[in-house]
Structure 1
Amino acid sequence: MHSLYLPQHDALVHWHDLAGTGLPLVCLPALSFAAAANFLDVVCDPALADARRILIDLPGSGFSEAAQDFDHTPRAHAAVVARVLDHLKPGPCVLFGHSMGGSVAMALAAARPDLVHHLVVAEGNLRPGGGAASRGIAQQDGAAYPAGGYPAQMHDIRAKAISGQPFYGFLHASWRLADPGALHGNASGLVDLDPELEQSFLNLACPRTYLYGAKSLARNVGSADVPEPELLRARGVATEVIPDAGHFMTRDNPAAVARVLARILAQPQGHRSF
């Protein structure tokens, strides 16, 4: 694991950097998840074995420290990711963001197009409103959440994990590492998402691919993180559907996600397919 100190936030940000060749794949995780938990099954798939894979823990999530004087918006997280990539100097990358990480990836591509060769968003929020999880957290009082709402929520998640519900074991493992204040801030940042993010994403010049879980596409089209495919395709965004998967497609069907990413990584570096 690698780290970089951010003096303006008095925080260490950490990431994994798995050796490989060609275009680097940079992975940004969902709401306060550790990047390894979010992406390990994807990046360890044989389809990606030869790629350089960089998995970044956002501030206050995974192994990264909570940042001081930080507003937890996708734009603020994007600035931190840019600092890491400027430090690493990997060149333009395939930037892959899942859920909240997708919103961060969109903000980064808009602010620093020099860092992004191809943007891949897996059900990232385009519009304000958030998903059910972020809304449930954001509606609680931010000052009281770390000592009140967060322990109660984690107690409920742990009980469901103990009862044998696999997803809640996965959720418990990630959110027990998260800083509670950062978790609330991240959720609020999605609920109050910059309303200009959608148009910014649609106007990007870089190649873009949006991934849907088939189950999400069947139920939630038109929500903040499941935009209408026709809208995206009309603006030059390629779309892919991950079979047998919902919002957490990186867990539901990691091999299918890996195959899509491998195809994108294999495209010639001058490729601009829309």
Structure 2
Amino acid sequence: MKEFLVPTVPGILRYNDFPGEGVPILFIHGLGCAGSFDYPQVLAQSELKHAHCVAVDIFGSGYSDQPENFGYSVEEHASSLQQLVSHLHWDTYTVFGHSLGGAIALSLANLDRKKVSSIILSEANLDASPEGSTSKFIADQSQESFLAKGFLQLIEESRSTGNTMWAATLSHWSPKATYLIAKSAAEGVTPSWREILYTLPCKKTFIFGERTLPTPEYQELSSQGIEIQVVRDAGHSMAWENPQGLAQAIAKAL
């Protein structure tokens, strides 16, 4: 694992750098997850093992710092990752984002339009979080209530319903970071992440888990000229459910 001190925060981002060839790929995980947890098995697959990939833990998650003075909004995460990319001296790169990490990826691509050659999204947040989503459930609580009891209750509920992988990664998050990024997701941005996606000049791919289908989003995104890939035998947590299938979808997108 490597680390980079983001000077504007300040705080240290930690990431795994898998050496390889071609245009590098930055992997951005979703809410309650971690790049160090989600992607090693995906990147070990034959389809990606020769690619240059970086899997980062965003601030407040995994092994990265949990700076108190960081705002943890989608846009602030994107800014910190743009500084990481600059530190890595990448002239061009692909950005991959899963779930809420997709919103961060879109914000980053919007900041780095001249450098991002393609964007790959797996069931990414494109609009403000709707009713029924985890981020909306978190954001509907007060910050005080969530920090006092909501965070631990969410972990315990995930364990009790069999979502033990997510409970494991979420337990390593800062409760404050969890709440603030969920609040950012629920509030959305203007222009929306969807509008950003539609106007990006780079190659664009959206990945669905087979168990998520059918969804109107499939036709909507196809109508916008966005390439669609489907991971068989997987739902939203495709990196855990079918890492080889996700690796194949990413390789096809490249």
TM-score, length of structure 1 as denominator length: 0.86
Q: 1:208 aligns with which of 189, 204, 211?
A: 204
Q: Summarize deviations over 1:173-201 as a string: whole Å, max 9, x none.
A: 20111000000111111111114221121
Note the C-alpha offset of 1:97: 0.5
Q: What is the rounded CA distance, in whole Å, between the counterparts of 1:125 and 1:156 in structure 2? A: 23
Q: What is the rounded CA distance, in whole Å, between the counterparts of 1:67 and 1:210 in structure 2? A: 32
SS in 2 for 1:109: helix
Any runs of at least 4 consecutive aligned residues in structure 1 with deviations exceeding 4 A, and if so which? none
Q: What is the rounded CA distance, in whole Å, between the counterparts of 2:253 and 2:121 in structure 1? A: 13
Counterpart position of 1:175: 170
Which residue identity lines up with residue 5 of structure 1 in the other structure?
L
Q: Summarize deviations over 1:7-63 as a string: whole Å, max 9, x none.
A: 332321111101111111210001031112222221111111111110011110111
Which residue identity lines up with residue 213 of structure 1 in the other structure?
G
Which residue identity lines up with residue 242 of structure 1 in the other structure?
V
Which residue identity lines up with residue 173 of structure 1 in the other structure?
A
Note the C-alpha offset of 1:204: 0.8
Whether 1:255 aligns to 2:250 is: no
Counterpart position of 1:186: 181
8 Å contact from structure 1 (residues 10, 68) kept in 2? no
Alignment of 1:14-25 (within 5 A): 14-25=14-25
Q: 2:224 aligns with which of 221, 235, 238?
A: 235
Counterpart position of 2:157: 156
Counterpart position of 1:198: 194
SS in 2 for 1:16: strand
Counterpart position of 1:271: none
Stretches of structure 2 that go unaligned for 5 or more consecutive residues are: none
Counterpart position of 1:137: 138
8 Å contact from structure 2 (residues 23, 52) kept in 1? yes
TM-score, length of structure 2 as denominator length: 0.92
8 Å contact from structure 1 (residues 96, 120) kept in 2? yes
Root mean square deviation, CA, Å = 1.7
Note the C-alpha offset of 1:263: 2.8
8 Å contact from structure 1 (residues 93, 118) kept in 2? yes
Q: What is the rounded CA distance, in whole Å, between the counterparts of 1:106 and 1:194 in structure 2? A: 11
Q: What is the rounded CA distance, in whole Å, between the counterparts of 1:153 and 1:243 in structure 2? A: 28
Counterpart position of 1:76: 76
Percent identity over the alignment is 26
Stretches of structure 1 that go unaligned for 5 or more consecutive residues are: 223-227, 266-274
